[in-house]
Structures are given as C-alpha cells and as structure tokens.
Amino acid sequence: MTFLKLKPLTAEQLSAAVELDQLCFGGLWTRSGYERELDSPNSQLLVLEAAIGNRDSGVRARPSEALTRNAVTTEVETELTPQPLLVGLGCYWEILEEAHITILAVHPDYQRQGLGKLLLYALLGDARRRLLEWATLEVKPSNQAALSLYQKFGFTEAGRRRRYYPTGEDALILWRGGLQTLEFEETLTQCYQEVESTLAFWGWQLSEVIGGRC
C-alpha cells in the first residue's frame, strides 16, 4: 500500500522539487526560483509525497484540521521511508483577488492516477479559504489531458498568448471565476469525491483533505 502526504514544500525538499520539475517540464524553474517561492508570502507551493507502509502494521489515517490561511497539510500516521518520493507539485501566486496557478506537475510514472486532480483541488480550496475571487493559468492547446482536468473544475478559455512556449506553441489562458460561490463549493466537493475513488482504485491511501470544503 502506498501512502500520500500533502503539505507545503520545505527547504529540505528543494532538490527533489527541481528534479521533478526537470522530469515534467525540462527545467521550468531553477533551484533559486523555488527558493524565491519559499520566501514569497504570496506563493502557495504544495507537494505530494509517497511512502510505502505495511498494511498489517496498524497504520491509521488521521484527518488534519481544516486548512489554515498559510498551509494545507494531510498527515498519515505511519513510518515513512527515509526519503519519501516526491510525486506531485503545485503552486499558485496570490495577486490581489486572483490565484494564478503557475505549476501543476505529477511524476511521469504516476500520471492519470488522480494526483493532479488532488493537487488542483487543494490549490483551489486554499485560494477559496484565502477569499480569492478567481483563478487563472496557461496551458498548451495540445495538452488535452490538462485541458480536460481544468474543465472539470469549471475553467473556460479567456484568451491566447501567441508563441508563449519555447517550442513556439501558443498558450491558452484559462479562467475560473466565482471561487466564493456555493456553486464552486459544490464543484470542489464533487471533484474530491471523484479523487477519492480514483486514488483508491490505484492503491493510494490518503487521509481526508479538507481543502475545498467550507
């Protein structure tokens, strides 16, 4: 059984974050870039750690308290391996009333298992708790898997940046308003229920995340 831990990035995980960035994006941000994110009060940077546990060892998941303004944490009561594997990374910047999502990455070996959806759920839930009003991001038009994920959370196309990526590909600008509405709360609840089912199917063990529930 594989256990997941969702928490803010720490300085000790910088090297692992840079390695994951390299795997997913070919080096979008440098180590110094991640260090700046850690120091920024307007940046929320979350990671997903995976650790192997023993099904028969009496392991028990313990729900964390609801999200605070500064952190989201999911704790699992188990003995972690000395160096848990970093399998996911997500970040957004708080800009006035906007949550600008800058990174959503899942280790190539663990994609399409619900981890990206869990990270996006946690980021948007945290933005809602910070009383932000809308969220934006850029995505490649060719990245159909990402587009499908964002659409499930209610993102729609708001514009296009020509030749935005180093490959020369355009970027679609996606936008999601109404983060403080009941409709968005219901969307988060539905998405989390789907995440729970998907994670269970792939053998992930995760304690309750209260990110988007208010």
Catalytic residues: 138, 150
CA of 32: how far to CAs of 111, 166, 185, 194, in Å? 26, 21, 35, 36
**Taking the CB of residue 155, how many other CB atoms lie within 10 A of it?**
23
Return the DSSP state at 172.
E
* 8 Å CB contact between 47 and 8: yes
Q: Are strands 98-106 and 204-205 parallel, antiparallel or unpaired?
A: unpaired
What gap in Å lies between CA 18 and CA 36, rounded to an integer?
A: 13
Query: 38: exposed, middle or buried (C-beta count within 10 Å: 0-12, 13-18, 19+)?
Result: middle
Helix axes 115-129, 182-201, angle to 10 degrees: 150
The set of residues, in sequence order, having a beta carbon less than 8 Å from that of 190 and lying 6+ positions away, is none
Helix axes 144-152, 115-129, angle to 10 degrees: 40
